[in-house]
Amino acid sequence: MAVRTARIGAVGLVAAAALTAAPFISPAAADNGMGHPRTQEAMDAAVQAGVPGVAGQAKEGYSVWAGTSGVGDLRTGAPRSAVDRYRIGSMTKTFVATVLLQLEAEGSLDLDDKVDTWLPGVVRGNGNDGRLISVRQLLNHTSGIFGYTADPEFLEKGFTEKFLEHRYDTYTPRQLVDIALRHEPLFAPGAGWSYSNTNYTLAGMIIEKVSGRPYEDEIKRRIVSPLGLYATSVPRTNSALPEPGSRAYSKLSLAPRPNGPTHDVTELNPSAAGSAGAMISDSGDLNRFYSALLGGKLLPAEQLKEMKTTVPVAGAGLIKGYGLGLMKFEPSCGASVWGHGGNIQGSASQAVTTPDGKHALAFNFNGDWAGDSQAVIEAEYCPK
């Protein structure tokens, strides 16, 4: 759920046995008419670097290309499938931000409303004050609120082998916020930028307060059902990953440990991610969603402009700016694409599209410790 290139922190609680196996590279996926040799090479390179498997799709106009590499199951050697469902982690943030912007377009709230207007007294203590933080600052990560996933105790339960004891733990949104409030703010509201999952936990709570329905229901009602995203779901506490899907793997180590034991972490209670990163989807649905969003089918022009108004992001590779639940990527050839990364134990994903929504790419690594996901974006949008 946090922003990095290869191994990214998130939330977690997952399952299973320690496994070790050498990944293999599957033959290049069939070309459905577009030709993506560099994208396929970048997927293969991720597997060579240690990712068990990669699966994704690119869409340009009415043409769809599917690419896979490596394995979906280290135990059986079964390959990945381009239609695998996977945990999308922080891409959930784009869905949450879209719902809040729809509510703003309907006049139900204002982006400059203070958090305390909707959640009175929830953000208070250790220098944190919801009376000074706006909804906009939650969505663009300028609130200064500490990210609960960086709390030492939470990190230990989620990203070390203690995870195996806690993978089915249930968290309420208020519990996650209270973990963050043990810490002083990182800066005054609006005075800096820092990626914080707590921001989107609060955003989900605000959706429920404004709409009278849980954020999960609003995402389904406003986005999933209208777009026909049949592989997309917003689990509450259900630990299972729907079929078809590959296994998800992690080293469960806070320090790089590429040669350490590999754990199957497919099952987990997603309440630890919640509205910051709990969703499940597949590459086809993600391409449909981001294409519809950037193509103006989900938000009025004014709200889409707000969403694409970014603050600078330094030191994050191709990511140069963060809007409202939306990242701006700038590959080396000068193209600009919009989307989001998404990471949770055992899963590292990216979904991006051109500003007109016509050329989209979404893919998933089923391991969280190796590979360069941004290299796949570079390969797709800078093919020569």
Residues carrying an active site annotation: 90
Distance between CA atoms of residues 346 and 329, nearest Å: 24
Contacts of 170 (CB under 8 A, 6+ apart): 237, 269, 271
Residue with tokens 């989209």: 360
Q: Which amino acid is at 163?
A: F
Region of residue 228 (phi > 0: left; psi between -120 and 50: alpha; otherwise: beta): left
- Tokens standing for residue 70: 């490596």
Computed over its alpha carbons, how large is the radius of gyration of the chain? 19
Report whether 195 contacts 147 (CB < 8 A).
yes
Distance between CA atoms of residues 198 and 181, nearest Å: 9
Report whether 373 contacts 339 (CB < 8 A).
no
Report whether 10 contacts 277 (CB < 8 A).
yes
What 3-state DSSP class applies to 350? strand
